Structure 1
Amino acid sequence: MDYLVVPNYVECKGSLFLRSEHMNYGRSTLNSNWHQAREAEPKDYDISVFPEPPGRNLHTATYGRIGNVETKDFPKPTTAAALEQIHLKSNFQERETKKSMIDISSYRHADIDRKVSGPSSGFGAVLPRHHPDHDKLHLETTHKADFVPPYPYEPAPERPPDFADNSKAYRRFHSQFTDTADYRRSGRNTFQDESGVYGNTEDKRRVYPTTNPIPDRLAEGLK
């Protein structure tokens, strides 16, 4: 390997030493990077041997080995390995058929509830087990937990189906006298109604029947 040593050539006037680093010359021609070309040899496929395109194959690698190890199975390039991942798609698809660990034939011989030396749950257990409240939904709010009612809540009894709904009698309708200019008056052609009859007048008469404001004892005294 003595030819790897770069000799000290004196670049004097008329020297044949070339300062070219982008052209391929023969072995007998010395240029500024001739020692780098010597270090690249031997080549399994030298493209400079075929200067013309008919005999040149750009798909052939320069070396058929990695370092000093000759091998035929070269690692795939990054692009080739990424493009071949499409063939692994079937490995990640959901499979319909599932193979159970215990079937009908092996169920009789399986001792699932056997006692082991370690604890049944927690640290040291053979099989991991969830806490009993693993799936519990904590829907209780802070206000409901801290501010509980002083007495237990008792729901009101359900009303019978024939219960009379008199809620309409306790509603306040828009007054025909004090709410005349109210924005809540419905209708496009509203008119001034001063009849005093509302939608719940009949309900109020039924819930609040008309009574005599003067007691009987006072009426007898006035006679």
Structure 2
Amino acid sequence: MDYMVIPDFVERKGSLYLRSDHMNYSRATLNSNWHQAREAEPKNYDINVFPKPPGRNLHTATYERIGHLKSKGLPNTTTKSALEQISLKPDFTERETRKSMVDVASFGHAIIDRELDAPSRGFGAVLPRHHPDYDKLHLETTHKADFTPPYPYDPAPERPPDFPDNSKAHRRYQSQFTDTADYRRSGRNTWQDESGVYGNTEDKRTVFPRTNPIPERLVQGLK
């Protein structure tokens, strides 16, 4: 039967291998993490070189590079970059000593409108200019912009205050002959009214006057 072979790391007399992984030994002494210590070399500042604490400088970084990029050095941290922005304050201060290209004395002799062989606006222009509709207020609603009338038309003029309202003449009243059994008949007594006179009879006679259904040419022909 095969048994799992357990390596014997028991420290014995004369061995240079130590099972300690929390002590700092010299390079000649091999311990459990000796390969990790070799992978961490070379160090720009090895704190273990100074056995006594007074000789150590805890403000010095162990490495001055990332990987093999030694020339570029370590990048600034986010906090350091933000704190260094105070040194840029003089670049944004307003300068009082300005020398204008055109002043009051030379304004009359300056040639502002001259041919530059370039368009006045758009691509290739010397000075940037705003679009003609830069300050335009777009107050048109979406419904009015999308749902326009199919044909152009002129709106009807507003009616004067004394304009007669003949809308009653185009209203259909409840018939006295075909709607006799309708539930819309108002009143307590629902007797049959067959007079043929409605509430808009006078309005219909005004809007639609009576005409002779027989043309005049036929009347003259009969005579």
Instruction: Specify if TM > 0.5.
Output: no
Q: Whose relative contact order is higher, 1 or 2, with alpha carbons under 8 Å and at least 6 apart?
A: 1
Q: With structure 1 as the length reference, what TM-score do the two structures score?
A: 0.44
